[in-house]
Structure 1
Amino acid sequence: MLSHFSCYTAQNTMYSSVHTIATALVVFSTSLWSNIVLWVLHIHGDEIVFVKCMVNSIRQHLVLE
């Protein structure tokens, strides 16, 4: 299950393929992330921790840039 992934593992395995798309989505509409989080929380509660980790990691990465 995705909830078993650690933030460290998620960052290492996801950044290369997700970073460009994630950046575009964040720039396109920050509200989109809220909708995704709410949807995942409603449909896949077990994975909400993983999603929060990814969102926070992406936001931190964007700030560093």
Structure 2
Amino acid sequence: MLEMRDKCERCETPLMWDSDAARICSYECTFCAPCVNGPLEGRCPNCGGDLQVRPKRAKKAG
């Protein structure tokens, strides 16, 4: 299951599970959109992979 980390690894901006600003690489490294679009230039600093919009989970019924 995908780990939904709750903050940007670079600037520590909070990224809740439903955040539109969360970006991840294939290793689930997590960053915010401003960091990805700015200094990181779309690349994960840990593995060099592409950073993509993190999928969202549906809210649990109940």
- With normalisation by structure 2, the TM-score equals 0.35
Q: Report the structure, 1 or 2, having the larger helix content.
A: 1
Q: Report the structure, 1 or 2, having the larger strand content.
A: 2
| More relative contact order, 1 or 2 (CA 8 Å, 6+ apart) | 1
- With normalisation by structure 1, the TM-score equals 0.34
